[in-house]
Amino acid sequence: MEFLLASASPRRKEILQNLGIGFRTIPAPEIDEEIYLNNSLISPEDTALQLAEKKSLALKLTDFELALTADTVVAIDNLTLGKPKTDNEASQFLQKLSGEKHRVITAIALKKGSEKPRLSYESTDVFFKPMSDDEINWYISTGEPFGKAGGYAIQGLGSIFITSINGCYFNVVGLPITLLMKMLTKYEINFRDLIHSGGGHI
């Protein structure tokens, strides 16, 4: 079986590479995330799960392929934040996070061949220090908030605004490894079998 990462996220790719996991990257299906992010009737957890599932269902796999899709969202004050697209949106996101606790939810979908995807998610609490307008404007000027759920990167410059976290660090980056290990056992795959597996073949 071949392990596939269906994601454009360089952070998810880097996490797997740093663990020495063999995999092949394939394009992530295009999904209109705004439909889900702007729906107040859907919880942040369900939003992440539905987005990961939609991506997974759009994949055409052989019976010898196991694909991972994922989606990360940030939740605060009953709002679900995706990735900011403009300076103004990034500023709004960071103002909401400033001095507050928020949740980062990453949902994972694993799909083998034409089987129904298996879904699960991880949630981590993240605490931000109060941010001044100057700090917010400076951070936005670095360009780092864009392409990141909630408008920050815990593994980058965004770390200077974080006072503490409660839960999985890798979940905030975009791929909760412990959850992935647990989900792989459903396919009778030992996580260690993926380490240095040539080309992602298990």
3-state SS, the chain, equals CEEEEECCCHHHHHHHHHCCECCEEECCCCCCCHHHHCCCCCCHHHHHHHHHHHHHHCCCCCCCEEEEEEEEEEEECCEEECCCCCHHHHHHHHHHHCCCEEEEEEEEEEEECCCCCEEEEEEEEEEECCCCHHHHHHHHHCCCCCCCHHHCCCCCHHHHHEEEEECCHHHHHCCCHHHHHHHHHHHCCCHHHHECCHHHEC
Of 32, 46, 63, 71, which one is the catalytic site residue? Answer: 71
Tell me if residue 71 is catalytic. Answer: yes
Active site residues: 71
